[in-house]
Chains A and B, each alone.
Chain A
Amino acid sequence: MKDLKIIKNIEKKLLYEMYRIRNIEFKIAEYYSEQEMRCPVHLSIGQEAVAVGICSYLKKSDSVLSAHRSHAHYVAKGGSLEKMLGELYGKETGCAQGKGGSMHLIDLDAGFLAAVPIVGSTIPIAVGTAWAKKLKRDTSKTVVFLGEGATETGVFHESLGFAALHNVPIIFICENNLYSVYTHLRDRQSPNRSLKEIVEGHGIKHFHGNGNSVEDVSSIFREGTFENENNAPVFFEFDTYRWLEHCGPNYDDHLKYREDSEVSMWKDRCPINTFEKKLIDEGILSHQELEKYLEKLNIEIEEAFKKAKKSSFLSKEHLYEKIYSD
């Protein structure tokens, strides 16, 4: 009985966490038009399940690195919401005091080491952090999130090769959302290309799953990592879909680079709706309970936005500081 209750609570938390990311992202989209968040934003709406399915099973001491589309990873890993919004508003309360913007999130207390917008660049850096842990006998995990576009880069292949050679305990999470900006996979990769075979060709285990199912993501992730006794590198590929434009707060369906039917099919597979329905159908969650959570969530998010808006900017002398370390 007790176990069942724990499982139920975990499932609720997974749903809540996905809602949290989505509602934060939609609020960013809403407030973006006020022209106060003056930096590019790559929103994660539609891709919440991967971030939550992975990060919910990480400890604080585990490390995560990401790329340009990092909000979901940061939030799911426990990154401070106030600091993230402060960063988007360019304020000194931001996680990098406004110096980084949306594309350079960091929260070391939460184990979120870095995110950068040069595609592929955090992959070798993540391998390095994982390797350092191994050399320092630190057993915490290291996870790097990457898009399927990043698997085209040279450093991706170099990093896999090194990780396999040195048995680096790195966990690669590839979110395959079919697109790199406006370009579909078919225009970038041969139909005969198999990411699974590329990964396995390096001698690294490859797992594949439905990235819109938080249960699938977490069970595959647990299977792949917890049974990995000699701490070898592992690779997870999850299929998912981005709802909004590549960069910015809007839908971009009018541009017609993807079929309306494709977009609506993926929306029908919404990671939140499908999971919510399951929890309610199974009596794990009631509508009232969810409503109550969402109300609380809404207040948390609005408060964080208010704080970010009210915070001040760094003053001019900070321009010249923290370029070189003491």
Chain B
Amino acid sequence: MREIKFNKAIREATAYCLSEDNMVYVMGLGVPDPKGIFGTTENLLEEFGPERVFDMPIIENGATGIAIGTAIMGMRPIITHQRVEFAILSMEQIVNQAAKWHHMTAGQSKIPLVIRMIIGRGWGQGAQHCQSLETWFAHIPGLKVVSPATPYDAKGLLISSIKDNNPVIFFEHRWLHDTFGNVPEESYEIPLGKANILKHGNDVTLITYSYMTTVSLKAVEILNKMNISVDLIDLRSIKPLDYDTIINSVQKTKRVIVVDNGWTDFGVSSEIISDIATKLGNQLKANPKKIGIENVPIPSTRELAKYCYPNLKTIVTSVLELFDKKVDDAILPEENGMPDVPNKYFLGPF
């Protein structure tokens, strides 16, 4: 199978849906510009024309309402936001209107709407440009929340999201856009609400999603070398959350760590651990743990920001602690000297 980048997988899914269904359109700040939302909408305008692919004024809340209006009329809008922080200007339309519309109309109207939000970190983005707010949306009945970690999942989940008849919030971590992975050329769907078990093991369950999946995969390799076998669950969807897969795994391993992609206070990890506690509380061999972003606003300066994020070592150490083992630094790959960039090719500023 060919390898393509995550951003190209998004583009491919979008192009496929645009060509398959002429009710689909893409709207967002910078969609047709030379950078094409980090490469995800490159040349879609040339391919599909300005009625299907277009820019907008800086009107996040208004644009969302307009998209909802078109959705009521049978269209299938895709809205993009280069940062989740811009999307939160449209919380009213998303939370009060889109999420509740089907319910309020007793099913007479539906809102097939995809809102792509880019989350991320690094390069001194600071308090207003690098938050991970998945949990805000996952809290709301009526919304679905998706957050792929691989190019393969990005394509399949985006196609499913566009075909879904509900508002779907689609989170893309900026540091995933340039990662490669196997992606079939043909179209395919990945069901929303289904987690993926990436590694199978018996000793401990590691649950994660989005960018932290890539870090957790490396952690599992190291743990395997230390004879600890891990069930690694990539959630893929945050709402609906695949409680069954989680519970089945933890029932087997009896130990669990959740690696959150966001703040842990009231976070995705909190939800998962509370569910496990209510169902399996007395069966666990160790207290469950959550790992995630320090519960502080992220400072711009890299020297403080670096303490905010869990890394390979944090994950490995946390797992080893469950087994009263210590991490042997020799087994850890050399630290990326610059934890504010995804790779050495990234030279800023966005």
**Nearest A-chain residue to B59, judged by Cβ:** A152
- Inter-subunit contact A90/B55 (CB<8 Å): no
Q: Does B25 contact A (CB under 8 A)?
A: no
Q: Within the complex, what minimum Cβ distance (angstroms) separates A212 from chain B?
A: 24
Q: Which of B33, B56, B61, B124 contacts A182 (CB 8 A)?
A: B33
Q: Which of B29, B59, B89, B124 contacts A39 (CB 8 A)?
A: B124
Q: List residues 247-306 of chain A with CB under 8 A from any CB of chain B.
A: 247-249, 255-257
- Inter-subunit contact A119/B58 (CB<8 Å): yes
Q: Which residues in A have their C-beta under 8 angstroms from that of B350?
A: 40, 247-248
Judged by DSSP, the binding face of B is: loop
- Inter-subunit contact B86/A38 (CB<8 Å): no
- Inter-subunit contact A101/B128 (CB<8 Å): no
- With contact pairs A98-B304, A314-B304 given, residues A257 and B57 touching in the complex (Cβ less than 8 Å): no
Q: Which of B29, B126, B303, B308 contacts A183 (CB 8 A)?
A: B29
Assign chain B's interface to a size class.
35 or more
**Selected interface stretch from B99-107, B242-250, B292-300, B323-331:** B292-300
- With contact pairs A103-B128, A152-B57 given, residues A40 and B123 touching in the complex (Cβ less than 8 Å): yes
- Inter-subunit contact B30/A248 (CB<8 Å): no
Q: Which residues in A have their C-beta under 8 angstroms from that of B30?
A: 181-183
- Inter-subunit contact A38/B340 (CB<8 Å): yes
- Most chain B C-beta atoms within 10 Å of own C-beta, residue among A38, A40, A87, A249: A38
Q: List residues 105-153 of chain B with CB under 8 A from any CB of chain A.
A: 123-129
- With contact pairs A40-B350, A188-B55 given, residues A257 and B34 touching in the complex (Cβ less than 8 Å): yes
- Inter-subunit contact B58/A120 (CB<8 Å): yes
Judged by DSSP, the binding face of A is: loop
Q: Does A318 contact B (CB under 8 A)?
A: yes
Q: Within the complex, what minimum Cβ distance (angstroms) separates A249 from chain B?
A: 8
Q: How far is the CA of A313 from the CA of B62 in the complex (A)?
A: 41
Q: How far is the CA of A116 from the CA of B86 in the complex (A)?
A: 13
- Inter-subunit contact B303/A247 (CB<8 Å): no
Q: Which residues in A have their C-beta under 8 angstroms from that of B294?
A: 319
Q: How far is the CA of A319 from the CA of B53 in the complex (A)?
A: 42
Q: Which residues in A have their C-beta under 8 angstroms from that of B340?
A: 38
Q: Does B343 contact A (CB under 8 A)?
A: no
> What 0/1 readout, one digit per residue, does chain A (47-68) give for beta carbons within 8 Å of chain B?
0000000000000000000000
Q: Within the complex, what minimum Cβ distance (angstroms) separates A121 from chain B?
A: 8
Q: Count of A residues near B, CB < 8 Å?
A: 49
Q: Which residues in B have their C-beta under 8 angstroms from that of A102?
A: 124, 300
> What 0/1 readout, one digit per residue, does chain B (277-297) give for beta carbons within 8 Å of chain A?
000000000000000001011
- With contact pairs A39-B349, A101-B301, A319-B294 given, residues A154 and B59 touching in the complex (Cβ less than 8 Å): yes
Q: List residues 28-47 of chain A with CB under 8 A from any CB of chain B.
A: 32-33, 35, 38-41
Q: Which residues in B have their C-beta under 8 angstroms from that of A211?
A: none
Q: Does A214 contact B (CB under 8 A)?
A: no
- Inter-subunit contact A247/B349 (CB<8 Å): yes
Q: Within the complex, what minimum Cβ distance (angstroms) separates B291 from chain A?
A: 17
**Nearest B-chain residue to A252, judged by Cβ:** B34
- Inter-subunit contact B126/A314 (CB<8 Å): no
Q: Which residues in B have their C-beta under 8 angstroms from that of A319?
A: 294, 296, 299, 304, 307-308
**Nearest B-chain residue to A187, judged by Cβ:** B55
- Most chain A C-beta atoms within 10 Å of own C-beta, residue among B55, B56, B57: B57
Q: Within the complex, what minimum Cβ distance (angstroms) separates A148 from chain B?
A: 10
| 7 CB-based A-B contacts, threshold 8 Å | A39-B349, A101-B125, A101-B300, A118-B86, A152-B58, A153-B59, A188-B57
List the interface of chain A (C-beta within 8 A of B). Answer: 32-33, 35, 38-41, 87, 90-91, 94, 97-104, 116-120, 149-150, 152-154, 180-183, 187-189, 247-249, 255-257, 313-314, 316, 318-320, 323
8 more contacts with CB within 8 A, not counting A40-B349, A98-B299, A99-B299, are A38-B302, A98-B300, A103-B300, A117-B126, A247-B350, A249-B349, A313-B303, A319-B294
